[in-house]
């Protein structure tokens, strides 16, 4: 058995504004991994352009969002000196390895991807080839660094399984060449997803059954990471509720998606277990939960918003962070790509 040094890789797409779901589901987890692992955090701008230009907003907006995601990483507490923060398009290994994986992954595997079906919508014939091949690029992101652990939301689980399938097929297809090159029985690790539990699956403030999303028309449905304190408090005050008092057990949340969502957000922000938060608010009215949640959300999120604003005012600094991160990322990926080329039989 080959063994691999633990390494974390994850990414966030620079499309539109970041919201609480991105923070609790991804960025906050990224921050937590830093003490125990070597981490590489990417702003996946190559992925952003897989959809229509109207979705990612065109060149100026892409650059702005790339800086905003970077600012969010830094403001949330990712240490870009100890770890790596960079944007995907500055490291050519991603595109190069993605091409190789286009030739490893099977059409049948990609046809099963539910996110493609959702994003392509009814007019599948008109989706970009890039949107179809998106999961192969994601596999390349992870495996160009031989990353072993990938913190992602529940919605990315299928893409992680595909990444493992690609790694395994590469290891098998080139087993002779991999052994000859001295890598034993596996060149790529099979990366493990670190999936955030359902407690931090953040839902819309207007509909407890829909995911909080940047594409929902009503801005009241989400808390943006750049919202100021008054806006955060107002959105929580206006959040949808049901007429009953809050339950005293987890079972009491069945059929009450809005109560479950607000209590779940409270628990995630307070870093408490959902059971404890249920006990804390048992029998109380929604108004009490909303007041306490607004206070907590402002306490936890306003410093991040303030720091993001400060960072965004100095794009030169953000660009320098990305440039430095990209050159360190390249230094890790380059020898791995050299091995990949040799294993496949490419000369040079
Ligand atoms: N597809 C991920 C998302 O939409 C973003 C992503 C791209 C990613 N490449 C990745 C996440 C590699 C983890 C690892 O959330």
Give the end-to-end CA distance of the chain in Å, rounded to a whole number: 29
198 pLDDT tier (thresholds 50, 70, 90): low
pLDDT of 195: 87
For the cut 70, the answer to whether the pLDDT of residue 264 exceeds it is yes
Contacts of 189 by beta carbon, 8 Å cutoff, 6+ apart: 2, 4, 143, 146, 147, 148, 167
What is the CA(42)–ligand 1 centre distance, in A? 9
Residue 92, pLDDT > 80, answer: yes
CA nearest ligand 1 atom 6, residue: 11
Question: Which strand (E) or helix (H) includes residue 23?
Answer: none
Residue 197's pLDDT is 62
Q: How far apart are CA 167 and CA 175, in angstroms?
A: 12
9 lines ligand 1 (CB under 6 A): yes
Query: CA-to-CA distance for 207 and 101, rounded, in angstroms?
Result: 39
Mean pLDDT value of segment 163-189: 98
Beta strands in 142-212 (DSSP E): 149-152, 192-195
Among residues of the chain, what percentage have pLDDT more than 90? 93
List the residue whose alpha carbon is closest to atom 3 of ligand 1: 12
How far CA 206 is from CA of 25, 58, 257, 268, 300, in Å, comes to 19, 29, 11, 19, 22
Nearest CA to 340 among 103, 158, 43?
A: 103
The residue among 154 and 99 whose pLDDT is bigger is: 99
Q: CA–CA separation, 49 vs 150, rounded Å?
A: 22
Confidence of residue 199 (pLDDT cuts 50, 70, 90): low
Non-local (6+) Cβ contacts of 276 within 8 A are: 267
| Residue 203 half-sphere exposure toward CB, CA atoms < 13 A | 19
Q: What is the mean pLDDT of residues 217-237?
A: 96
Domains of the chain: 8-200+314-344 (3.40.50.620), 219-310 (1.10.240.10)
Residues assigned a catalytic role? 119, 211, 214
d(CA 323, CA 87): 8
Residue 17: band (very low, low, confident or very high) from pLDDT cuts 50, 70, 90: confident
Cα–ligand 1 centroid distance for 23 (angstroms): 14
For atom 13 of ligand 1, the residue with the nearest CA is 10
Q: Residue 160 pLDDT > 60, yes or no?
A: yes
Pocket-testing residue among 87, 141, 157, ligand 1, by greatest number of atoms within 8 A of Cβ: 141
Q: Which atom of ligand 1 is nearest to the CA of 9?
A: 14
Structure confidence at residue 51 (pLDDT): 95
Atom of ligand 1 nearest to the CA of 155: 15
Query: How far is CA 228 from each of CA 78, 233, 239, 240, 294, rounded to the nearest angstrom?
Result: 21, 9, 17, 20, 12
Q: What is the pTM of this model?
A: 0.95
Residue 200's pLDDT is 64
Interval between CA 180 and ligand 1 midpoint (Å): 33
- Whole-angstrom Cα distance, residue 319 to residue 317? 5
CA of 260 to the centre of ligand 1 (A): 27
pLDDT in tens, 39-73: 999 999 999 999 999 999 999 999 999 999 999 99
Mean pLDDT for 264-293 is 96
SS3 218: coil
Q: What is the pLDDT of residue 97?
A: 98
Structure tokens belonging to residue 203: 């839902």
pLDDT of residue 79: 98
Query: Is there an atom of ligand 1 within 6 Å of 7 CB?
Result: no
Given a cut of 70, whether residue 1 has pLDDT beyond it is no
Arithmetic mean of pLDDT, 335-341: 98
Q: How confident is residue 166, by pLDDT bands cut at 50, 70 and 90?
A: very high
Any ligand 1 atom below 6 A from CB of 150: yes
141 ligand 1 Cβ < 6 A: yes
The pLDDT, as a whole number, for residue 218 is 94
- Residue pair 236/286 in contact by the 8 Å Cβ criterion: no
CA distance 78 to 155: 23
Average pLDDT of the segment spanning 73-86: 98
State if residue 166 touches ligand 1 by the CB under 6 angstroms criterion: no
Q: Rounded mean pLDDT of 122-128?
A: 95
Nearest CA to ligand 1 atom 8: 11
State which of 7, 11, 141, 196 you would mutate to test the pocket of ligand 1, scoring each by most atoms of that ligand within 8 A of its C-beta: 11
Does pLDDT of 84 surpass 80?
Answer: yes
Q: What is the DSSP string of 29-71?
A: HHHHHTTTS-EEEEE-HHHHTTS-HHHH-HHHHHHHHHHHHHH
Q: Are 241 and 286 in contact (CB under 8 A)?
A: yes
User: Could you tell me if 104 and 60 are in contact, meaning their C-beta atoms sit under 8 angstroms apart?
Assistant: no
Residue 235 CA, ligand 1 centroid: distance in Å: 28
**Confidence tier at 196 by pLDDT (50, 70, 90):** confident
């Amino acid at each position: 058995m080959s063994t691999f040094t633990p390494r974390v890789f994850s990414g966030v797409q620079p499309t539109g504004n970041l919201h609480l779901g991105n923070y609790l589901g991804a960025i906050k987890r990224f921050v937590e991994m830093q003490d125990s692992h070597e981490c590489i955090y990417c702003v996946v701008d190559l992925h952003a352009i897989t959809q229509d230009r109207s979705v990612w907003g065109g060149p100026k907006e892409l650059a702005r969002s790339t800086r905003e995601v970077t600012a969010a990483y830094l403001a949330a507490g990712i240490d870009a000196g100890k770890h790596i923060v960079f944007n995907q398009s500055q490291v050519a290994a991603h595109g190069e390895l993605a091409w190789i994986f286009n030739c490893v992954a099977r059409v049948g595997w990609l046809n099963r991807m539910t996110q493609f079906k959702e994003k392509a919508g009814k007019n599948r014939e008109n989706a970009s080839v890039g949107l179809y091949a998106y999961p192969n690029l994601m596999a390349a992101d992870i495996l160009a660094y031989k990353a072993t652990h990938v913190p992602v939301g529940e919605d990315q689980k299928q893409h992680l399984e595909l990444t493992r399938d690609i790694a395994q097929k590469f290891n098998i297809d080139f087993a002779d060449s991999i052994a000859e090159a001295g890598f034993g029985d596996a060149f790529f690790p099979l990366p493990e997803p670190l999936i955030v539990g359902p407690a931090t699956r953040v839902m819309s403030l207007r509909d407890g059954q829909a995911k909080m999303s940047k594409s929902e028309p009503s801005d009241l449905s989400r808390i943006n990471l750049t919202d100021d304190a008054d806006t955060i408090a107002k959105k929580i005050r206006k959040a949808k509720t049901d007429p009953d008092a809050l339950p005293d057990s987890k079972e009491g949340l069945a059929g009450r998606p809005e109560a479950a969502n607000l209590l779940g957000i409270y628990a995630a922000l307070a870093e408490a277990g959902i059971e404890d938060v249920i006990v804390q608010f048992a029998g109380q009215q929604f108004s009490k939960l909303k007041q306490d949640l607004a206070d907590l959300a402002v306490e936890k999120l306003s410093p991040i918003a303030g720091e993001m604003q400060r960072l965004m005012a100095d794009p030169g600094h953000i660009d320098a962070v990305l440039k430095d991160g990209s050159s360190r990322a390249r230094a890790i990926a380059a020898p791995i790509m050299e091995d990949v080329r040799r294993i496949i039989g490419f000369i040079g």
